[in-house]
Structure 1
Amino acid sequence: MRLKHDEKGRLLFTRCSGDGSYLNYLQLPLLLMRSFIIKGHTGGSREISMFHFKCTSKFRKSLVKIPDPKLLLHKPQAMPQCEFLTLNLTHYPKIADLRSGYLSKNQDVIDEAQRVHANVLGDLLERFSYAILFDLADYENKGDPAIAMGELQFLKRLGIQLLYYCKTSACSDKNVENAFLKFKDVSSAEMVVLLQGGGNMFSYESLDKIRESVITRFQDHTIVIFPQSIWLRYADYKLDYYRQMYNSHPDLTLLVRDQESYAIGEQMLPSAKVILCPDMAFQIGLVAFFAPASFDILWLKREDSETTGYVIPRPPPYLSLHVEDWTNWITPKTDTMEHIFHLTLNGLLFLQRGKVVITDRLHGHILSTLLGIPHVILDNNYGKVFNYHNSWTKGLETVRTARTAEQALAKAEELLSSYGGACQKNSMTFCDYNENLSQICK
């Protein structure tokens, strides 16, 4: 990977091969999801560029605290942000989140996540022409399909041809074996094996089993696991079993979504390369509203094994509050990859029903950030939501944290007072039809 500033001081990214030209990073609008096609490599250079920013004199002088660039062994020192932005983060795997406390706007948080993706994954994947991708989420937990969509989006931007994929429901041992037999002779210098990100390592055995099936077969190919959160949920004997399985691969890279997972990953997977990297759903980019709000407050409350079991407090009579888990907000099913996009769109639609959102789901937080919806986050039972917030979104001005349901409701009411009276400023916005059906936001 090469990093370069153009004549206006904008940071650009290109692949090492090709003609050396540099391009600005362009978002693919969400409304074009249905036209998404994975295209094969047609030859020539394959390039991806990062979002650009103006490196003004004020920005050049601003500082972030980062560890000493030499081996990260010394006391943290100050470095100009522009210099920090030129670091290859695969060489500094723990410090990618150090700008997050300085980023207060949704667009800035999204841009930074995409910049880190380009930096880290661009460096890891740039030498490959082909990929196969296992465990694309096709179930109603809308956050995991959003991750899958971001992964597909990034591969398309990178120009890597996807030779094979399997959705979670289809990733049987037989299908993994068939993929191995079909592609085992593709050179390891040309093809990389990729595994879906999420929050399910050492905690959801059906998904660890899929990864085991892939890792034990593709021993001769580089394997990259997209960003994960780690929850050590199993009994010790089972943790040891899967720890040995992951460490058995000679060229495995694990991307992790927060500092806590980084520490666990380094301890559990000494044979792997562990790198901090934000969630792949940020590849979707800033999302324009496409539906009006139905409620003052939408409470996305998880109902699975990660819930803390809190009780919803009674809201004041002047507030409309709706409580639901989006796994019950069913998406019409198709048998193609398009279903992943429909699940993601349905999750975005679900959240837009609230002027303010309260959630204990990580992707309730992430997709609300993409939508620009003010929201309050509660933690799940092992710290995943707060850990991610502390790493990547702690400076975001439209987010509040709460330790109890009562605090969450009070803070949501404060956000509603601050932000809920005005229409969203994204394009295609609508006023609340409960207030005035005939008024269209300008």
Structure 2
Amino acid sequence: MLIKIKKILKPLLKPSINRLQKLQFEFFFKNTTKEIRRKHGYCLILMATPCHGNLGDHAIVQAQYNLLSDVGLRDLIIEINNSNYEKYKDIIRKYTSSDDIIIIDGGGNLGTLWPHEDDKISEIINLFRFNKTVVFPQTCYYSNDSDGEKRLQKNKTIYSEHANLTICLRDKQSFDFAQRNFSSTKFIFVPDIVLYIDKVGRGSVRDGVLLCFRKDLEKVAADENINRIKDFIRNHNIKYDETDTVINKNVSKRTRDEELRKKWDQFSKSGLVITDRLHGMIFAAITGTPCIAIDNKSKKVSGVYEWISKLKNIKVCDDMSKIDNTILDLYKSNFEYDKSFLNDHFAEICSVFTSVNNNENS
């Protein structure tokens, strides 16, 4: 009987609950921005951060916080998750000052590969076209067909109408493409922002091989090749486990650090990671874990690898049938990651924010 009553009441109460939640968000956003501006003059609005279980995307947000903290801007950040952005974008726009800076997460979302994400980024750029806007390091990929051309022309118009837009790109192929096709927009060539994170390796005893392969539209590793690798590992009396950088539950701002630590601990305990995920490779790098990375459809794995090719524990391979010797060479090797060799490259994106901060303090 109670269950039946709940089923009846739920749709009746939902509009009232939604209105209350909207009022709560409006109160939060209006007053938080007002207080930050009172102290600092402007806000950094970190827009539409992930709620899903892709830990690569959450590591991007974590790294953005780290960088912004290092340039003295941590207290200016207001994080708006994707769910709240979608529901309350009218409120966000209403209470955003022209002095506020809009920050859009990095990732692999520009172009046709993930159209919904590209649409969202373009929408934010358009809605806040009079605000200084910074897009953290992205990969862009436009298909060579009518859909790709249509999306390219749409984004050309949106980007060109923005008053102060900076887009960071994390691989040379994306950077060169953007320079050719978006002449009025400022682009910065910088590493994937997750490489800004270091000292997350736990110094654990390493054992076994960790397989981390995609299951979505960017998957390139054929099942027969994965099975052949498993047979090779078993034949050498090495145990293996399977994982993914995408977990089957939502992750919030509150649980982000815990979920990332658990995943990084798993990588830290492995003797070798074999992956076709970009952030599988990067998680291996920042935890000092030996890794063989397989390139993917958008070539973002090999593109980002160029930044860390000096790391002896990371190898990229185009042909999975030729990695047997590399498995044995890298297995249980000991390495330590220190991001300092990338500091000069990160300096340019830091300067985008430090110039504003210096103006505030002058």
After TM superposition, is the score higher than 0.5?
yes
Q: In structure 2, what is the Cα distance between the partners aligned to 1:405 and 1:271?
A: 41
2:288 matches 1:362: no
Q: In structure 2, what is the Cα distance between the partners aligned to 1:340 and 1:409?
A: 35
What does 1:41-52 correspond to in 2, within 5 Å?
none
Which residue does 1:209 correspond to in 2?
119
| Letter of the structure 1 residue corresponding to residue 260 of structure 2 | T
2:54 matches 1:141: yes
**Cα contact 1:255–1:274 (8 A) shared by 2:** yes
2:170 matches 1:257: yes
Q: In structure 2, what is the Cα distance between the partners aligned to 1:266 and 1:348?
A: 35
C-alpha spacing 1:412/1:135, structure 2 compared with 1 (3 Å):
farther
Which residue does 1:72 correspond to in 2?
none
**Cα contact 2:274–2:291 (8 A) shared by 1:** yes
**Cα contact 1:138–1:167 (8 A) shared by 2:** yes
Which residue does 1:268 correspond to in 2?
181
| Letter of the structure 1 residue corresponding to residue 241 of structure 2 | H
2:110 matches 1:197: no
| Letter of the structure 1 residue corresponding to residue 214 of structure 2 | R
- Distance apart, 1:248 and its partner CA: 2.2
2:212 matches 1:300: yes
Which residue does 2:81 correspond to in 1?
167
Greater share of residues in helix: 2
SS state of the match for residue 326, structure 1? coil
Q: In structure 1, what is the Cα distance between the partners aligned to 2:109 and 2:215?
A: 16
What does 1:109-258 correspond to in 2, within 5 Å?
129-160=42-73, 161-162=75-76, 164-172=78-86, 174-183=87-96, 186-188=97-99, 191-202=100-111, 203-233=113-143, 234-258=147-171
Give per-residue Cα distances to partners, 1:208-242, cap 9 Å, x unaligned.
Answer: 22222222221211111001111114432233223
Report sequence identity in percent.
22
Give per-residue Cα distances to partners, 1:394-420, cap 9 Å, x unaligned.
Answer: 11111222222232343122111xx44
Which residue does 2:287 correspond to in 1?
371
- Distance apart, 1:281 and its partner CA: 1.3
- Runs of 4+ aligned residues of structure 1 deviating over 6 Å after TM superposition are 41-44
Q: Which runs of 5+ in 2 are unaligned?
A: 1-34, 338-362
**Cα contact 2:43–2:76 (8 A) shared by 1:** yes
- Distance apart, 1:425 and its partner CA: 7.0
What does 1:4-153 correspond to in 2, within 5 Å?
129-153=42-66
Which residue does 1:320 correspond to in 2?
239
Q: In structure 2, what is the Cα distance between the partners aligned to 1:379 and 1:164?
A: 35
C-alpha spacing 1:130/1:229, structure 2 compared with 1 (3 Å):
same
Q: In structure 2, what is the Cα distance between the partners aligned to 1:340 and 1:169?
A: 16
- Distance apart, 1:298 and its partner CA: 0.8
C-alpha spacing 1:152/1:303, structure 2 compared with 1 (3 Å):
same
Q: In structure 2, what is the Cα distance between the partners aligned to 1:138 and 1:344?
A: 14
Which residue does 1:406 correspond to in 2?
321
- Distance apart, 1:163 and its partner CA: 5.0
- Distance apart, 1:274 and its partner CA: 0.6
2:254 matches 1:338: yes
Which residue does 1:393 correspond to in 2?
308
**Cα contact 1:140–1:343 (8 A) shared by 2:** no
C-alpha spacing 1:409/1:142, structure 2 compared with 1 (3 Å):
farther
Q: In structure 1, what is the Cα distance between the partners aligned to 2:201 and 2:38?
A: 32
* RMSD of aligned Cα (Å): 2.6
**Cα contact 1:357–1:412 (8 A) shared by 2:** no
SS state of the match for residue 275, structure 1? strand
Q: In structure 2, what is the Cα distance between the partners aligned to 1:175 and 1:410?
A: 53
Q: In structure 2, what is the Cα distance between the partners aligned to 1:269 and 1:341?
A: 36
- Distance apart, 1:291 and its partner CA: 5.5
Count of residue pairs brought into register by the alignment: 291
- Distance apart, 1:353 and its partner CA: 4.2
Give per-residue Cα distances to partners, 1:17-36, cap 9 Å, x unaligned.
Answer: xxxxxxxxxxxxxxxxxxxx
Which residue does 1:17 correspond to in 2?
none
**Cα contact 1:296–1:355 (8 A) shared by 2:** yes
Q: Which runs of 5+ in 1 are unaligned?
A: 1-38, 45-127, 427-442
C-alpha spacing 1:231/1:404, structure 2 compared with 1 (3 Å):
same
SS state of the match for residue 310, structure 2? coil
C-alpha spacing 1:368/1:309, structure 2 compared with 1 (3 Å):
closer
Give per-residue Cα distances to partners, 1:42-65, cap 9 Å, x unaligned.
Answer: 969xxxxxxxxxxxxxxxxxxxxx
Q: In structure 2, what is the Cα distance between the partners aligned to 1:154 and 1:42?
A: 23
Which residue does 1:350 correspond to in 2?
266
| Letter of the structure 1 residue corresponding to residue 274 of structure 2 | I
